Structure 1
């Protein structure tokens, strides 16, 4: 046990794991339920069915926890999960093991408790518990609620725009929108890296992205054959203007970060001199 390494989640493997091993526990329990049913052993059928349900609930909670953790790890700016699904699942696994061994399996209580403890410990060592620390550094005087709400709203709108893009058959317009979305995401990532810029960037996050969302909503609501060529030309021109706006916004944010770095360097030099 002393050589056991602390859990460090790998974001490239987290989605593929998804608690697959937990679902393997269901196989022998499912077989036990079927056998009890075939033997018309009602008590064994009910107990094994309850054990199956407990392990299934544990696996489902774990899946929620893994999804929640993956979102946390991928986001540079977020709060720790409110509901610790993985932690709950770990103790549920221990409780399910105790129930299955002691009640359903008629094992001694001490043995069942030992197996339950091992199950919970094994879960922790393999999967770990839920993240507990908020990733809300470098906020300056901006409130965390304001930052998260603004970024969350922008992400939702970008997601909706991408869904509507799938309905656009005009390849030129789709290509321009795709470029705009790529740049918008880059700007959003830059803001998340330095959320102090959130106030000055709010116009981009709310006005520009909201404008694109309204345009795409109106576009997909119509039959493309009914859209006049003049209207499409206006759209192409609009997207070109937005492309230029996004480039300027990204450059402004980068220059602002460069300015902050220069200030910090100058301050440090002065501190070293004194």
Structure 2
């Protein structure tokens, strides 16, 4: 904010050099703030997903470097400090940024899986690949939904992406569910992504009432299918719990515990 005030006063006084220096420093700091927000949002989003195909960008690391550059440049070009003192200011700004916000962690590691967790997947790498690809398709659905002009379709596609996200979280909690949801992940989800992307292109260039009604019917069917898939996974979890309770009760009776 002091830089913004100084830029306004330099404009008033007609000092072009000072106006340029203060404006550059102010804009660089604004960019650093925007990148920091983007990096925090990215971290919060990816923290919810053990498996993610989304590429991670080093937003906070870049923001810290830009902030250090802005601080050093401001000290040198605006305040008139020497190059050595400006460098010290830059290092101090970078250190303060690291202590307050931290830098981006290393490449996100996929969760470690036990060989028996995915009996139908064959290999852990295959299981991770299936989930990572599914998350990429969910991201694509969300982006397509945001770009749709039709509010009803936008809301329906957003709900579908939300349900699929819940299904993926359920699979992460119980890896055995991957076998039961394999057809849904390998057939229905890619088909939904492809049809939604194609409709978005035709909506922008060749709108049609018949195509709009067909797409509406398809979205309703897909949303119902997603609900049914989620319900089947949840029902299986309940059945597994009932079996475990019966086994435990039988063992307790065998040990003479009532």
TM-score by length of 1: 0.60
Gaps of 5+ in 1: 1-26, 169-173, 262-274
1:247 aligns with 2:231: yes
Q: CA deviation at 1:90?
A: 1.0
Residue 110 of structure 1 deviates from its aligned partner by 3.6
- Alignment pair present for 1:142 and 2:116: no
2:53–2:133 CA contact under 8 A, matched in 1: no
- Which residue in the other structure is 2:40 paired with? 66
Task: Name stretches of at least 5 consecutive residues in structure 2 with no aligned partner.
Answer: 116-122, 245-258
Cα root mean square deviation, aligned: 4.4
Kept in 2: contact 1:81–1:130 (CA 8 A): no
Aligned equivalent of 1:186: 166
TM-superposed CA distance for 1:189, in Å, is 0.9
Question: Cα deviations across residues 155-187 of structure 1 (Å, max 9, x unaligned)?
Answer: 53377579799417xxxxx99x99977654432
Q: TM-score, normalised by structure 2?
A: 0.63
Per the TM alignment, residue 243 of structure 1 is displaced from its structure 2 partner at its CA by 4.3
Match of 2:136 in 1: 152
Shift of residue 114, structure 1, vs aligned partner: 2.6
Cα 1:80–1:135 change in 2 (3 A) is: farther
Aligned twin of 2:103: 129
- Which of 61, 64, 87 does residue 87 from structure 1 map onto? 61
The 8 Å contact of residues 131 and 168 in structure 2, kept in 1 or not, is answered as: no
Q: Does 1:167 align with 2:147?
A: no
Going from structure 1 to structure 2, the CA distance change for 1:180 and 1:156 (only over 3 Å counts) comes to closer
Q: How does 1:1-274 map to 2 (within 5 A)?
A: 27-78=1-52, 82-139=56-113, 140=115, 141-143=123-125, 144-157=128-141, 166-167=151-152, 184-194=164-174, 198=178, 200-209=180-189, 243-252=227-236, 254=237
Count residues with an aligned counterpart: 221
Residues 190, 245 of structure 1: CA spacing in aligned structure 2 closer, same or farther, 3 A cutoff?
closer
- Could you tell me how far apart the structure 2 residues matched to 1:58 and 1:236 are? 43
Could you tell me whether the CA contact under 8 Å between 1:86 and 1:129 is conserved in 2?
yes
